[in-house]
Amino acid sequence: MSEVHFDRIALIGIGLIGSSLARVIREKKLAGTVVVASRSSETLERAHALGLGDSYTTSNAEAVRDADLVIVSVPVGMSEKVAREIGSHLKPGAIVTDVGSTKKSVFEQMQPHLPDTVHFIPGHPIAGTEQSGPDAGFARLFEGRWCILTPPADTDEEAIARLTAFWLACGSMVDRMDADHHDRILAIVSHLPHIIAYNIVGTADDLETVTESEVIKYSASGFRDFTRLAASDPTMWRDVCLHNKDAILEMLARFSEDLSSLQRAIRWGDGDKLFDLFSHTRHIRKSILDAGQDVDVPDFGRHGAVLDAGENKSDPS
């Protein structure tokens, strides 16, 4: 696994994803040289202090010079600006990719500014935490997670194979699909959950009859699960909402329709209907556990994390 995949990798943006890539690239020796770029000199200094690259610059144009692989890890609303800056400085034959959560918009923003001499392959590693910034990254973030590539139909297959091999070396599994389908999947598995989480936390915070301190004290009864997603980076999520609007609005409409039906069942005391829905959803969690996409311990293993794991658990049943 410690083969050099690229002579020179440019990381544009060094937040949670960018800095995790920097760490795994270093750890697995996937590049000869890593150039780190951030528009914020403060972030760049932090990246330097963490030793995330071999050189550092606030100029994206400067960063991509002679790079074989350019990975853009910025909020999706910044994609066009970055493409404008780097377009004329890219090395012919370079692979340009990104890690944004929406793919159709990123393609439309970047493609017009990139020369025909480079291979532009939009990508999205389905990995992350609720934290952000260069300190939040870690090398194993991508391990066991999927990375989706959405190359347009005419993309060079060898370039796709090289980028696929890179992600596999990072620990990911790799899928390929068209951008529209990606955006629809992510709208339901990621964007809607985050929007719902932000919304319920906002609703709770606005109540007059229940205080914030009560919400916090009793949050272990369900609410706290939502607060993790609602602690995610606001800039990133604003941009996701603005750049995957159609698919998100479609999923929101379906969610609201289903919720109205559930609300009606509660109002009219339709216990059978409630029981059916509440039984029906259990198998999905089981499938997620079977697929290795979540931990197979109750309560996300929090008791193990908060208390000393198991030491006082009287029945390890």
Residues of span 172-191 touching a second copy by CB under 8 A: 175, 181, 184-186, 188-191
Helices (H) and strands (E) in the chain, counts: 15, 9
- C-alpha 81/C-alpha 16 separation (Å) is 20
Q: CB of 90: closest distance to a second copy in angstroms?
A: 29
* 168 touches a second copy by CB under 8 A: no
Give the residue from 30, 100, 104, 14 showing the smallest Cα distance to 68.
Answer: 30
Q: CB of 48: closest distance to a second copy in angstroms?
A: 13
Give whichever of 87 and 193 is closer to a second copy, judged by the CB atom: 193
* 2 touches a second copy by CB under 8 A: no
Which of positions 231-260 make contact with a second copy (CB under 8 A)?
231-232, 234-235, 237-238, 241-242, 245, 248-249, 251-252, 254-256, 258-260
* 70 touches a second copy by CB under 8 A: no
Give whichever of 154 and 279 is closer to a second copy, judged by the CB atom: 279
Q: CB of 57: closest distance to a second copy in angstroms?
A: 21
* 41 touches a second copy by CB under 8 A: no
* 74 touches a second copy by CB under 8 A: no
Kind of pairing between the strands at 173-176 and 146-149: parallel
- C-alpha 270/C-alpha 195 separation (Å) is 28
Give whichever of 114 and 226 is closer to a second copy, judged by the CB atom: 226
- C-alpha 277/C-alpha 112 separation (Å) is 47
E strands within 117-266? 119-120, 123-125, 146-149, 173-176
* 78 touches a second copy by CB under 8 A: no
Which part of the chain contacts a second copy (CB under 8 A), choosing from 29-37, 115-123, 156-164, 306-314? 306-314
- C-alpha 50/C-alpha 277 separation (Å) is 49
Which of positions 10-29 make contact with a second copy (CB under 8 A)?
23-24, 26-27
Give the residue from 54, 61, 105, 103 showing the smallest Cα distance to 83.
Answer: 61
Give whichever of 4 and 207 is closer to a second copy, judged by the CB atom: 207
Q: Can you state the angle between helices 282-290 and 271-280, rounded to 10 degrees? A: 0
* 221 touches a second copy by CB under 8 A: yes
- C-alpha 209/C-alpha 99 separation (Å) is 42
Angle at CA of residue 295, ends 287 and 138, nearest 5°: 125
Which of positions 141-160 make contact with a second copy (CB under 8 A)?
141, 143-146, 148
* 202 touches a second copy by CB under 8 A: yes
